[in-house]
Amino acid sequence: MASTTPAGLEIRPRQLDFDLPNPLPRHWHGGDAFKTHMFNAMSVLFPDGERFFIESVRLFREQIEDPVLKEQIRGFIGQEGHHSHEHLAYNQRLRELGYDIDYLERGLKKRLTFVKKHLPHDAQLASTCAVEHFTAIMADALLKDPQWLAGADPKMARLWRWHALEETEHKAVAFDVYQQTCGSRWLLRRAMLQSTFFFTWDTTKGLLHMLKRDGLLWNWRVWRDGLTWLWGKDGIYRKLVGVYLDFYRGDFHPWQHNNLELVAQFKGDYEPQSSAAA
């Protein structure tokens, strides 16, 4: 089983201007409030979350001597920086629709301030590895399974696929830095348990807030269809349980889920000429 990052993998930020719909259609995901707000709730977390990922890797950057990994760190920082930037623009569109993004960001900002002040550096990097695993398994599924974005506004789908592509490319960077500098599996598992709780908490809070503002919080059809989409027999989250649990194994490495073919399949969509044409 492959247990390292594939040789020759290039991690480079793409300079793209997404020109998001303005105004953003309130339910840009095929008119479905639940699906739209599941994605929106994640978007709210990205600017602060990704800044934290970058900072936690930077804490160990000087200790890395491997030139390949040093180059990958540069790519990782560039990619996450761009994601943060694009999601700020996306979140501004959400503000303009009347959602209280400041309220939704407040809890995460406070928590990250606490973590940076009180947690040891290795625990901070372990948290990044854990959340990067979350984003990696969701990115993989989003690129593979048309259910994730079926019916979505094409510009929004393009943004999410770009983010998923780059999350796939850099999925092992924080992990490889952690392996070369910290290495405790116990800390990784603890970080994953905590991250799972907070990710669920934050995305649920975002979803509830946005559904409430839309007057759909108590609409049972929205919940029935939404929860079936996530956790039903063919649910998009249900299918992730196995790959999520792999993280707890003693020999886990992100590239054991080898999906380089997805990088090859989607990267052509984000070459400069195709972005100009889109």
The site for Fe ion (CB under 5 A) is made up of: 80, 83, 167
Question: Which residue number, 223 or 266, has a Cβ lying nearer to Fe ion?
Answer: 266
Integer angstrom CA distances of residue 138 from 135, 167, 236: 5, 9, 9
CB of 80 to Fe ion, least distance (A): 5
* Length of the chain, in residues: 278
CB of 115 to Fe ion, least distance (A): 17
CB of 218 to Fe ion, least distance (A): 34
CB of 61 to Fe ion, least distance (A): 16
Question: Which residue number, 122 or 132, has a Cβ lying nearer to Fe ion?
Answer: 132
Question: Which residue number, 162 or 229, has a Cβ lying nearer to Fe ion?
Answer: 162
Kindly tell me the sign of the dihedral angle through the C-alpha atoms of 133, 257, 170, 69.
positive
Question: Which residue number, 27 or 163, has a Cβ lying nearer to Fe ion?
Answer: 163
Report the candidate in 182, 129, 164, 187 with the shortest Cα–Cα distance to residue 236. Answer: 164
Question: Which residue number, 77 or 211, has a Cβ lying nearer to Fe ion?
Answer: 77
* Residue 39: Cβ within 10 Å count: 22
User: 159-175: string of b/e by CB count within 10 Å (b at 16+)?
Assistant: bbbbbbbbbbbbbbbbb
CB of 260 to Fe ion, least distance (A): 17
Decide: 257 and 137 in contact? Cβ < 8 Å.
Answer: yes
Report the candidate in 113, 138, 122 with the shortest Cα–Cα distance to residue 52. Answer: 113
Question: Which residue number, 34 or 79, has a Cβ lying nearer to Fe ion?
Answer: 79
Report the candidate in 3, 42, 8, 17 with the shortest Cα–Cα distance to residue 169. Answer: 8
Q: Which residue is nearest to Fe ion (CB)?
A: 83
User: Quick one: DSSP state of residue 27?
Assistant: T
CB of 139 to Fe ion, least distance (A): 8
